[in-house]
Amino acid sequence: MTKSKSLFITTLIIITIFFNCKDSKKSMANSNLDEKIEQKVDSVLNLMNLDEKIGQMVQYSAGWDLTGPASSKSAQDKVDKMKKGLVGSVLNVVSVKEVREAQKLVMENSRLKIPMIFAYDVIHGLKTIFPTPLGESASWDLETIQKTATIAAKESAASGLNWTFAPMVDVSRDARWGRIMEGAGEDPYLGSLIGAARVKGFQGDDLSNINTIAACAKHFAGYGFAEAGRDYNTTTVGEFELHNMILPPFKAAAKAGVATFMNSFNDIDGIPATGHRVLQRDILKEAWGWNGFIVSDWGSIGEMRSHGYAKDKKQAAEIALNAGSDMDMESYAYEAHLAELLEENKISLSDLEDSVRRILRVKFQLGLFDDPYKYCDEEREKNNIYTKEHLAIAREAAKKSIVLLKNEGNILPIAKDVKSIAVIGPFADNKDTPLGNWRAKGRYNSAVSLLEGVKAKVSKNTKVYYEKGVELTIPTVKPGSNQFLYPLEFNTKDKTGIKEAVAVAKKAEVVFLAIGEDAYQSGEGRSQVNIGFLGLQNELLEAIYKVNKNIVLVLSNGRPMDISRASEILPGILVTWQLGSESGNGIADVLFGDYNPSGKLPVSFPRNVGQEPLFYNQKNTGRPYNSKHVTYSGYTDSKKSALYPFGFGLSYTTFSYDNLKVDKETMNVDGKITLSVDVKNTGKVAGEEVVQLYIRDLVASIVRPTKELKGFEKIMLQAGETKTVSFTIDKEVLQFYTINRKWEVESGEFLLFVGENSATKMKQKITVE
């Protein structure tokens, strides 16, 4: 922006501040607001006409080259709107050059020159790709999780972006749901801490810092509870389930200062989330006192017509605005109908201006009014993306996210001077699937493959054999296009590679079998009824097992999978998710013992898909599990329990828990109890353990889960070392959303559990008076 134009805007703001300072102070409903920014927001708002106000509530996707002429009539219309200052945000513009060109359309042509905010789906890295969010959550390492979000923000800001549609904080219990890969799993407590860590990583301590971007907590709310695990499907939950299980991660994100929220595609008990006033206005904006803005999900305002909740797009706009949805992403409903709805008194000017005020507030917080081009530095873009330092942290995150499920006979770790290894499977030398879905600007085939990681790790005398064995999918688009493949076509006929794979398996001392899921089997719109090994992978597994029993399953997955057969017969199983740019190196660090695995499952792994949705924090029911009777809440053809429960994960060492005790057995509702336990490394190598605290409220005003995670601590123990881990049991730990429709502690008896995973039976009873 030129000095003269900048001076013009500044002068107008100062003049308006003089006349509106008193009103600005009245408008501040929350002490967390910055008074100076609020004065500026109100000043700009008072300079705007109605069209300009509505324009701030419009977000477009730029699907054309912004450095050249518009490619279509639709694109030209968007360009014209930008020039008039009638667009508040653009998504999918991802380079300094294009962001600058788009911003210039506003700054050099519009009346008030209000800068646009540029958004993108930076879910687990921009170009340096980290583990998919579910995989990274298995680290239970909040510091690392915050660090990877910080790097993602740094790379995004260097590319001209200032807003990401992350983190997804939906609690997800159903492995069939494709977007389970995008969140932190099935537990609201763990999800709350991880969501807050990601918000802090993206936003830092100051949104105006050049290396930070605005975060977005999504999808508000209930999206992860979609019926039948089918994406976009309806959600039917009760009031108490909503408050106790679904909303806590969103509240934690709001408390962490997340700049924006995104509402959801699903309806909740008949009311589409985009038009849900109780969620958006009553809970988020009023009860929680949150001051950011809510963006719709792609087209979700217009989709209320398909729900049967709005007769046309005009009514959809009315419902959405009245419910508290501030910005319209790609529905074109607000720009077409808000002015008319205002004239008809179907929406209020105060609600409309509240939305605009919230959007302007974030732009001021980002520093865009001070310098609309602050994110447009080509030198930063050249030097701050995909660096050695970023890749080193990607490797750290990768190895910390790996979960060791089985290690029979201590097959792992493998000696680096082992005579021979066979690396077999469709993901053995795959350099693309490790990037996972939602890989932003991650370059096709850029990940370190498992085969590359193994070869870099072993001695020069080790013979490494490789065979793909089977092709999992039949390609349907040009490689490198980064398009969503839909539907995936699975190879069920070409078995020619199995014979070659068997031949090398016969010659090897140990086999690394890399099977699982393609990157595009999970993600948005990627729900599946089959969560096992698709294509010919089961045949490959059985064929290899016939000739070599020393097999380590290296599982590629975006979701919990049915690995029951593999668990039954194979001695070693590593859950390696889709670990990002440094995948192969991180896996090799674990396979060969340079890193002792410490990951714990953030989701339960089922015995079969028929158990889904499956989660550890179930309720007891009136007929709890009893293996001696048929008439209990279970199955006649399968165990009720998970194959591998939430919180499970082995190490190359072993740990013992002892001396669980409390400093007192009774407390009042405002009191505290200290719970402690001694944890000892009983093995021969150093290792990390995640010590987990669970509670059970034995009798309550509503039925409570049999266990709820309420604390954890990740500790490092040398061989033979013992540490005492303590937890404070207080109101924060014991409270829940009660029959009184408020968060409170009820008196009565509680069980406190401590252990290695959610199946722990080590417990202590306390009483709250």
pLDDT tens digits, 689-717? 999 999 999 999 999 999 999 999 999 99
Q: Which residue has the tokens 């409390």?
A: 662
Pair type for strands 163-164 and 216-220: unpaired
Position 5 pLDDT exceeds 50: no
> pLDDT tens digits, residue range 638-695?
999 999 999 999 999 999 999 999 999 999 999 999 999 999 999 999 999 999 999 9
Give the mean model confidence (pLDDT) for residues 476-481.
56
What pLDDT, on a 0 to 100 scale, did the predictor assign at position 627?
Answer: 63
Active-site entry in 297, 354, 562, 697: 297
First-residue to last-residue Cα distance in the chain: 64
Q: Give the tens place of pLDDT for each residue, 410-446.
A: 999 999 999 999 999 999 999 999 999 999 999 999 9
Q: How far is CA 598 from CA 95, 391, 574, 580, 592, in A?
A: 37, 20, 11, 18, 15
Listing DSSP states for 370-421 in one string gives: T-TTTT--HHHHHHSSS-HHHHHHHHHHHHHH-EEEEEGGG--SPPTT-SEE
Predicted local confidence at residue 63, as pLDDT? 76
For residue 1, what pLDDT band results from cuts at 50, 70 and 90?
very low
Helix, strand or coil for residue 462? coil
Distances (CA, A) of 218 to 140, 273, 342: 21, 11, 29
Rounded average pLDDT over 31-35: 82
Instruction: Supply the mean pLDDT for the chain.
Output: 94
106 close to 115: Cβ distance less than 8 angstroms? yes
Instruction: Choose between 607 and 63: higher pLDDT.
Output: 607
d(CA 138, CA 562): 18
Residue 6 has pLDDT above 70, yes or no: no
Q: What is the DSSP secondary-structure string of 263-293?
A: E-SSEETTEEGGG-HIIIIIIIIIIS---SE
pLDDT at 67: 64
Q: At a CB cut-off of 8 Å and minimum separation 6, what does 625 contact?
A: 632, 633, 634, 640
pLDDT at 13: 41
Per-residue pLDDT, averaged over 544-569, amounts to 98
Question: pLDDT-derived band of residue 231, with 50, 70 and 90 as boundaries?
Answer: very high
Taking the CA atoms of the chain, what radius of gyration do you get in angstroms?
Answer: 27
Q: What tokens appear for 601 in the block? A: 């499952």
pLDDT over 80 at 519, yes or no: yes
- Under the banding of pLDDT at 50, 70 and 90, the label for residue 72 is confident
Considering only residues 611 and 629, tell me which one the structure prediction assigns the higher pLDDT: 611
* pLDDT tens digit sequence for 343-397: 999 999 999 999 999 999 999 999 999 999 999 999 999 999 999 999 999 999 9
Residue 766 has pLDDT above 60, yes or no: yes
Worst-scoring range by mean pLDDT, 139-148, 238-247, 482-491, 622-631?
A: 482-491
Q: Is-catalytic flag, 297? A: yes
All domains of the chain in start order, with CATH? 56-65+85-380 (3.20.20.300), 395-602 (3.40.50.1700), 655-768 (2.60.40.10)
pLDDT of residue 631: 82
